[in-house]
A and B are shown apart, each in its own frame.
Chain A
Amino acid sequence: MALKIVKGSIDRMFDKNLQDLVRGIRNHKEDEAKYISTCIDEIKQELKQDNIAVKSNAVCKLTYLQMLGYDVSWAAFNIVEVMSSSKFTYKRIGYLAASQCFHESTDVIMLTTNQIRKDLSSPNQYDTGVALTGLSCFVTPDLARDLANDIMTLMSHTKPYIRKKAVLIMYKVFLKYPESLRPAFPRMKEKLEDPDPGVQSAAVNVICELARRNPKNYLSLAPLFFKLMTSSTNNWVLIKIIKLFGALTPLEPRLGKKLIEPLTNLIHSTSAMSLLYECVNTVIAVVWLSVLKYLGLLAMSKILKTHPKSVQSHKDLILQCLDDKDESIRLRALDLLYGMVSKKNLMEIVKKLMLHVDKAEGTTYRDELLTKIIDICSQSNYQYITNFEWYISILVELTRLEGTRHGHLIASQMLDVAIRVKAIRAFAVAQMATLLDNAHLLTGNTQHSGICEVLYAAAWICGEFSEHLEDPMATLEAMLRPKVATLPGHIQAVYVQNAAKLFSTVLCGQEGAPADSKVAQETSQLLIDRLPVFVQSDNLEVQERASCILQLVKYIQKLQQKDVEVAEEVTALFAGELNPVAPKAQKKVPVPEGLDLDAWINEPPSGSESEDEGRKTKGKAVFAREESRHTKPRYTEVDEKELAKRREVRKAEQANNPFYIKASPSSQKVRTASSPNRQLVLWMPMSDQYVKLEEERRQKNKADRKKDKKKRREKGRQRRGDSGPESEEDITPAHMVDIVTEEMPENALPINSSLTSRCITDVCDIQGNLHDGSQVVVSVIFENKCDSFIKSMEFNVMDSLNSKLQRPEGAGPHDSLTVPFHLPPGISSEARFIFSVQSIVMPQKLKGTLTFIVKDSSTHEKLDFKLHFTCTSYLITTPCYSDAYAKLLESGDLKGSSLKLEGINQPFHHLLARICFHHHFSVVERIDSCASMYSRSIQGHHVCLLVKTADQTVSIDAKCDEPGLLRNVLDEIKLTFSQC
């Protein structure tokens, strides 16, 4: 016995251990298989020995060989033997081998049940540990059933090391033996709040896995998980919890809302990619589906601006979004569609949209769809429409919409197309005649701008282009139905007027044919019968027109009874074709000889507002023929801002006026000339810089003009380029839109050279008076540019409530001040005027006049001007030390505002110099591309700027104790830079 043991241990010394085996295999690369088969033989010998150490070594080697792909299933029993060793070292090897080699069909597994149970209850936690680890790999349904209770007990083991393993293995047990889930679950739930984080995370893992398989049973745990999610800092656990919520939210949509905040917090705070990814995953899956769609569409609209092609390929997807139940997503999708249309897909897109119109619920969205359809079709001057008959039928289809508020829009489109596309007039007229015939369908909604508005267009089109009507008599009859009297007044008026036009057409037809005069007389009788309804209308326009026409028809009837042919004369009433007029057509009209457009007819009115309004109302008269546009243009003295405002108003008018073809923005040139032969320039520079600035301005003007011309040239080229071989353009439009956009050669004169003999330039500088917070000194330089001596200059300003010119004592509030010098030709001189200002927060404009006598002609001349009191002029360059500056900013009394300037490509020091120069700031400190600046108002407000620049972008953060002043100063700074 002893000998045997000794022999065993001696043998053991010569045994190969694992390292030897590995080394051996590596040394026998050529005949590996052969070497290994000898090794396996050795191992078989070793396994026959009683020594557990030898057996364990053999099993360890077998495990290695198993990995190399050799079958070791024959040694299963030996593995169980090693597993059963009382020593941890061997047990560990045994369990490792088992976990690698055993599978469900290994029959020896059933022999292990008791051994495993024994190990699970071992006092040594590591014994229990290896048993659990091993079990996790080869647990069978039988083992699960037999050991479920033991493992469940271990879930409450005192050692967290065991608890976490037990918790994890429970999942495997649940899978193999589902009946164990119900009794074990309460304990599992308990483990979610285990004091040990390892156990907790294990429990989270298991429940996540379970919940993924059957989420609805775990909804009740949501509050607990929510608590864990907001309290846990362990990313591994967080990922699992978020994944769990991803599975739960589809069942409980309210969860989504609750999750938004913690998830966004995590997304913003975490640095772990995997956690971020999980959050985003969950967000995508459940929480923000609609938000994402919305953002996606928004992003697409951004891409559309730069890469239209790539977005166009997603057309179907975007069209799908129109079905979304969220209205804001649908609207976003509509916006995108607007930018996506091309000649090829316009019809298709509009067809889809029309389907949506039919389905759409809620008038707001339907109206939105309607306007979008019209916008899409009419954009860029109907650029994408290849078939206007199609468009007219779309418009007619749209009239079927009930309750829309955009009848007016449809009507104006109908008018526009019918007038400008000559080729389809016949078609349009036929469609309109049908509309008129079915007017009763549209009259349900008589509210303003309801769908009945289209009748306005229909009546007018049928009347104006009545020669295209197949059966003018029927249409005439339709227009004079008694029901018409229920329509809004302005539509009735059009009806009446166009009934007259139709009447003339009908007469023409009847008299031209060799028919008896009776028919013609009957037509007249129809009018005489029907018109009285309109004569009684409470609408003045309708009444007036109706009674006028009624009398006319009565007269015609009388003539007809005398067998006089009247048709020709009646037609003459409406002779002349109406043609579209380009916005610039005015310029083509030659000025009649002897007419001085620039001369004042009356003295200019004091305010320009009333005149503005006058224009507006004129623009609204749709049927006013061209004559109305022949009124003499009056150039009044207006400054740039005012002009810009008017331009906007005018553009808006033209956009609504079907007779105007929309102009491209560059094509309108504004004459900045003030009164014809005088020139007034107002600038606010430092006194010694006048000349330089004046030069600068002239150059700028010149450059502007050049730019303008260049643009025009470019435009021309584009137009030519359009007909190039682009695939888009291959589809030739079926009808051409009548576009009149070419211009008269521009003979705008350079502003400064338009000066004639007499001229005064005055330049003024407004400077605050530091000693008195309410005083501003305006120094005005008068320059005589003409050849005559100028004297008796008198300066006057209309005071406002806020700013008053200080006059000598005893002078009335409207008296002028005499300029204390005369001006010989070519001489300039400076005069100072003092103004008192109450509030310096707002910029101000004061109107003033300068009267003077030109000696040669001895006439009294008058020059109107405006004084701009900008907020900048209330600032005084005041030096400030950086520490005082810092203190000022720290004080917290200042309110902030900021400004961003794009595309500034001048050097930073130039920029600073500009701000200093134009806006009276001083630089406090400058570090690289960052500078702090300071200025003070005459009333002691501090204005601090922090100017930063990066790639042509300048950001200005400003602080001041008077926010209004600051805002205005910033606006002025912006203006300064937009001018350069």
Chain B
Amino acid sequence: MMHFLLLFSRQGKLRLQKWFTPIPEREKKKIVRDMTTMVLGRKPRSCNFLHWKDLKIVYKKYASLYFCCGLDAEENELLALEVLHRYVELLDKYFGNVCELDIIFNFEKAYFILDEFLLGGEVQETSKQVVSRSIEASDMLQEAEIDNSDYDLELGWP
């Protein structure tokens, strides 16, 4: 099971955090700090896996962003890399050539996509199509509501 997924920049700025197990706030901050220092301290071309406490840390750098996740010790590291890659693919498909700024400005979208792909630290949907379709459907639903809410405003309804 995946315990957390973090996205951070080269400067160590956190861009996204997803915790699949309930962890106290203080502990979260410590993990984030450890991860950023550990991962950023790695030399280029070193391998993508680390051990931290009893977790396996798998990370990969896409453009300026580091994608980093913590796994149970018995998990498959290569599979985790595939998960990270799949997430990047999904972001890419949604934003169209995704960049760090997309994720900064639309961070809630990034979360929504992640929530359709992973749930509770497990892969929820392995099909890219299915994930994108459910995201689209949710967005459509939202747009319809916004249109309606404008209408509501005009009518003066709360």
Contact = CB atoms under 8 A, between A and B. Distances in A.
Interface of A: 2, 5, 9, 18-19, 22, 50-53, 60, 63-64, 67-69, 71, 73, 87-89, 92-93, 96, 99-100, 103-105, 124, 126, 129-130, 132-133, 136-138, 140, 161, 164-165, 168-169, 171-172, 197-198, 201-202, 205-206, 209, 212, 234, 236-237, 239, 243, 272-274, 277-278, 281
A198 B125 contact: yes
Given A103-B25, A136-B20, A164-B124, A278 B76 contact: yes
A172 B108 contact: no
A93 B108 contact: yes
B1 A234 contact: no
B121 to A, nearest CB: 8
B126 A234 contact: yes
Contact of A206 (B14, B17, B122, B156): B122
Interface of B: 1, 14-17, 19-20, 22-25, 29, 74, 76-79, 81-82, 104-105, 107-108, 111-112, 115, 119-120, 122-127, 130, 134, 137-138, 141-142, 145-146, 149, 153, 156, 158
Contacts of A197: 126-127
A171 B122 contact: yes
A69 B142 CA distance: 29
9 contacts: A52-B158, A53-B149, A69-B14, A96-B115, A103-B23, A126-B137, A198-B124, A201-B123, A278-B79
Contacts of B137: 126
Most buried by A among B76, B104, B122: B122
Given A64-B107, A103-B22, A103-B25, 5 more contacts: A67-B14, A71-B25, A105-B24, A201-B123, A274-B82
B122 A168 contact: yes
Given A136-B20, A243-B74, A274-B76, A237 B126 contact: yes
A265 B76 CA distance: 20
Contacts of A172: 120
Contacts of B76: 239, 243, 274, 277-278, 281
Contact of B104 (A2, A22, A63, A132): A22
Nearest to A69: B29
Chain A interface mostly: helix
Nearest to B157: A5
Contacts of A234: 126
What are the 7 closest A-B residue pairs judged by CB atoms, nearest first? A274-B78, A136-B120, A205-B122, A133-B115, A236-B126, A89-B142, A168-B119
Given A89-B142, A278-B79, A60 B130 contact: no
Contact of B120 (A22, A105, A171): A171
B119 to A, nearest CB: 4
A274 B58 CA distance: 13
B119 A132 contact: yes
Contacts of A92: 108, 112, 138, 142
A281 B130 CA distance: 30
A273 B77 CA distance: 11
A201 B125 CA distance: 8
Given A67-B16, A197-B126, A198-B125, A96 B120 contact: no
A254 B141 CA distance: 53
A126 B134 CA distance: 9
Nearest to B32: A69
A201 B22 contact: no
A92 to B, nearest CB: 7
Contacts of A171: 120, 122
Contacts of A243: 74, 76
Contacts of A93: 108
Contacts of A18: 105, 107-108
Given A137-B20, A168-B120, A5 B108 contact: no
A124 B141 contact: yes
Given A87-B149, A274-B82, A104 B22 contact: yes
B62 to A, nearest CB: 18
Contact of A202 (B15, B124, B146, B158): B124
Contacts of A87: 145, 149
Most buried by A among B29, B76, B146: B76
A129 B79 contact: no
A126 B127 CA distance: 18
A941 B155 CA distance: 101
A197 B1 CA distance: 20
A913 to B, nearest CB: 51
Contacts of B19: 100, 137
Contacts of A50: 158
Nearest to A176: B22
Contacts of B22: 103-104, 137-138, 140
B75 to A, nearest CB: 8
A9 B74 CA distance: 53
Most buried by B among A71, A138, A161: A161
B157 to A, nearest CB: 9
Given A124-B141, A197-B127, A198-B126, A136 B119 contact: yes
A958 B62 CA distance: 54
Contact of A63 (B20, B108, B124): B108
Contacts of A63: 107-108
A274 B79 contact: yes
Contact of B124 (A88, A99, A165): A165
Nearest to A160: B130
Nearest to A86: B145
A2 B126 CA distance: 50
Most buried by A among B19, B24, B126: B126
A53 B157 CA distance: 12
B123 A205 contact: yes
A19 B126 contact: no
Contacts of A51: 158
Contacts of B14: 67-69
Given A87-B149, A88-B145, A274-B78, A164 B125 contact: yes
Nearest to A106: B22
A274 B120 CA distance: 21
Contacts of B141: 88, 124, 126
Contact of B142 (A52, A88, A161, A277): A88
A19 B107 CA distance: 10
B74 A212 contact: yes
B70 to A, nearest CB: 15
A848 B153 CA distance: 122
Nearest to A60: B108
A172 B127 CA distance: 23
Contacts of A96: 108, 111-112, 115
B127 A198 contact: yes
Contacts of A105: 24
A197 B81 CA distance: 22
A558 B54 CA distance: 95
Contact of B79 (A52, A53, A64, A236): A236
B68 to A, nearest CB: 15
A274 B81 contact: yes
A206 B120 CA distance: 10
B107 A89 contact: no
